[in-house]
Each structure stands twice: as C-alpha cells, then as structure tokens.
Chain A
Amino acid sequence: MEVALTSVDIAGAWVSIFLTLCILSFLYADNPIYKLAEHLFIGVSIGISLTETWYGVFRPNLVDKLLAGNLLSIVPLAMCLMLGMKVVGIFAPAAGKKLGWLARIPIAFVVAAYAGVKLTGEANANLMTQVAQSMPDLHTLWIEHGLWDWSADGAGVISGIFLVVGLSACLLHFYFSSPHGPAMRVVSRFGVLVLMLSFGASFGYTVMGRISLAIGRAQELLGLDRSAAQAAQVHPRIASVLSLVVVVLILVIWRLRERRPQAGA
C-alpha cells in the first residue's frame, strides 16, 4: 500500500522539475537561471559532502575514539591540525610563514600512503595478472573452440593469437625511446588500428551511457519514474509544462534586456 505524498514532497517534485529545466536551459545559452542553478548545485553538493564526511569518518573514526580515550587517535588529530597550518596564513600571515611548513608532514604521509598502495596494486593487478592472462593457452582454445567458434562470439585460436599480437603491437606503438624503423612502423600501425577499434567501441558505449542519463531526466519530466498513484498526486507533466513556460519567459526577458543596450547604442 503506497503512502500518500505530503504537500512538501509534491512541492519538492515541482522544484525538482523546475531545476531540471533551469540546467537544461544551458543548451540554449549560458543564462542567469542556469548560473543560479549551477551555484545552488555547488553549494548544496559541498554541504552534502561535508555532512557525509563528518558522519562517515570524523565522528566514528576520530571524535568517538578520542572521547573513548583512544590515545593513538591524537596522532591523526595532530596531523589534521598541522594540515590546518595551510590556511592559518590567510588569517595570520606571520604565523602562517613560521608554521606553514608543518602542513607538509600530513601531506607527505598521505602522498606516501597512496604511492605505496597504488604501486603494489598496479604492479600486481595490471602488470602481473593482466600479462599472465594475455598468454593464450592455444591448446585449450583449440580443443574448446577450434580455429574460430562463431557460436562463442569468435573465440578460438585465431582470436587468441590476435589478442597477443594486438597487445604487443599496441605496447610497441607506445615505445618512444628510439625512432621506429620500417618494421616497427608496420607493427605500430597495426597497434593503432587495434586501438581505433577499441576507442570506437568505447565511443559507442559512451553514447549509450550519456543517452541513458538523459533518459533518466526525461522519465522524471514525464512522471514515468513514479507509480501511477504518485504521478496522479504530483502531476509531473503539468509541472514540466508550467516550468518550461516560466523558463522560456525568463530567457525571453533576459534576451530582450541584453539586446536593449545594443539597440540604444
């Protein structure tokens, strides 16, 4: 049994539709209502980030532990204060000059931690595993799929060889330590063609992804993201039409006001 929407929620749904059209007005031109919505977005998103950061990490991992008497938590607190030395200079330039260097300590800690984990992660998962999996087991491929198995989307010995040759060609294409000779140029060209196939496929997926996002917004404007009962309470299509009229009116007024000084001149 669906709960009836409150008037606050219905008003919110109309605000949501109006703000959607404010952002979409950018497709016509950069205009004041887009700028207003954009700045509102920045303010709200930073507010949400900070709120979630407080509840997600500061309170449970620092404040609660300090209040519980965990002395080791003084170390991250001290490092946070050292990091704060970066902004002390704004309010007290003399102190900032003297103490600003302290911010390097927590920065060094974080950068080193990231460097350490990224190094091992990339080396293991991308170098070791990906290279190992690129050595085709031709015997098994031959037994399971033969030369080319159409029913398995082209799996087989030919694809296995193509993969390792293509991979090698792409890697050699990115080798710039010495000039490419005639043989290398052929290999490099083949690598480029393999890259183009990949980027083309990527573009196709990207188009699909981007259109999906627009579909989501269109579903809200038409009320298709809600149940029929909720849509009957919110009247999203009426909200969309009215919001569109308001947005268009604002754009027309803005355009006329922009042109008026030019007409006067």
Chain B
Amino acid sequence: MRFFKSLSSMTTGLVLLALVGAAAAIGSSLWPEYFFRSWPFRLLLALLLINMVLCTINTSGRFFRRRARISRDWRLLLRSLGLVALHAGIIFILVGASLYSWLGHSVQLSIREGDTVQIESILPVSKPFALKLDKFYIEFHHDGSPAQYYADLQVLEGDRTALEKTIKVNYPLVYNGVKFYQSSYGYLTEVLVRDGEETPRTLLAQDGDFIPFDNTGRTLKVFRYIPDFDPEAGMAARSDEPLNPRVIYSVYEDEVLLGIGAAPFGEAISIDDGVFIEFQRACPYTVLTVKTDPGLPLVAAGGLFTMLGVCLILFGPSGRKKEV
C-alpha cells in the first residue's frame, strides 16, 4: 500500500520526469545510437507512465469529487478538463509508441522502375498485395536544387490494379494499414559489354560495382554516375539535374589501376584488344520507407488530446483564488 502510494505520488512523478530529462540529455550526447532503446531508459518511461496514470486519476478524481460541486466556475472546469486531456494525451502517446516498438515494422525498400515487390515478403501484413513502381522522377528549382521527388506507384492485388497513386515527399501512400514514404533514390548504370565473339550482353551496375571480363585480365569499376558533371569539381556533381551526365569509371589489371575516365552515355570505350563497353543509360530506383504501426491511431488521439488539453488550460483561470 505504501509502495502504491509513493508510486502514485506527484513527487515521485516529478522526480521521474526530471530523471527522464537528465537521462535524455546525457544519453543523447554519449550514446545517441542506442540509449533510447536500452532497457534502463524504457524502464524509466514505463515507471513514469504508471505514475502518470495513477496520479492523474487521483488528482482529477479528487478535483471532480470536491471542487466542482462547490464551485460552478466553468473556467475552472475547463481548466481541469484540459489538465486531464493533456495528461491522458501523453499517456496515450507513450502506450501507442510502445505498441509500435512491439508490433510495428519499418523497412527501407529499393525498387527499380518497372519492378514489382510483394509486400508480404518484406513485412507482415494482414492481406497480401504487391507494389509496382511505374516511374521515378525529380523536379528541379531554377537554381538546380531538387524541388520534389515523385514516385508513380501501383498497388496490385493479384493481377488487378487496386490503386494508382503518385507519392512525393510529405505525401505518402496508405494502403491496408501499410504506409509508403518517398525516402531516397539512386541510379543503376546500364552497361553494354562486347567481349569476344559472343553477342553483346547488358549489365546493371550499382555505383562501386566491378565488372570482370572473361578473355582478359582487366576489370572495370563503375565508380559513380554523376548527373551534372563538372571537370573542375571532379566527383562532386554540380546539381542533381541530368544536364551533363557522365559515368566515372576506372580500369584495373591485376589490381593495378590503369586509368580513370568520365564517359558520356553511348560512347564505346575500349578496355583491351577486342573488349569494348558502352554506358547506355542511368536507370533510376527509388527508396521507400514502408511502415506498419498499430499504435499510430492511439498516438494520434494522444496528440489531439494533448493539443486540446493545453488550449483548454490557456482559457482557464491561471491562479487559485487565494493567490494575489
């Protein structure tokens, strides 16, 4: 009983709150990567949560039993309702956030134009469906900085297109409780290889990939695709706009660097006798954050309660009557 009483007291709550603040300040400075997921911090939050539930019930219960009956001051009533809403809101947020850490999932999905991905293969979903990327494109400001990233998506259920939507940063797609956010992007470089008598083959290389050739000891490294190449700036692109696209590549023989070049698309490059390559185009891929969060409705309600609560408190009387 005594334990219960001290667990529900406001003094305990304030001490816990101060500890959470101090721990967050120290933890984020020393171990930003993992401190907030560690069990001591979670324990602290759990204790604060229990304390807030008990303390809010006690304090507001006392208020509504005693004060409200005596005083019919509606502003006082609003203020007290606001306090309950604010504390309930924070409680909802904490509970909802722990639901996410138990049951929620978030994965980064790289998907190339034209490709289809079964969503149930990357995270648990209630009903299987697939996502297809039709097109990824970037819009630019006048100064060459990116204005917006777009991904044209199709939701497929079996062979049927259930939904078509273009997502962009700040405007995700929601389908069957799964949210898709435009998060990042990149390019694969299509390389045409002619080595020996065979018909030419086409490869897709990621930045940094090595391409070996059968009939020579030489190796090609596709170092990086640069959309707006500036010889003065070297590896740093002038902008993300494909104004002067080049592929930076290097050629090795037995791990010895033979040379580095910056080739435009569609130009044959001789690697060795009878071995030619040609960079053909850059194929964009997009990176989506795919998320399920069963706690989100609770967190959203908590946020709403918190905002409603602080607004109600502002309209209430700010001091007790006995104060000057």
Partners in one complex: no
Chain A contact residues, CB within 8 Å of chain B: none
Chain B contact residues, CB within 8 Å of chain A: none
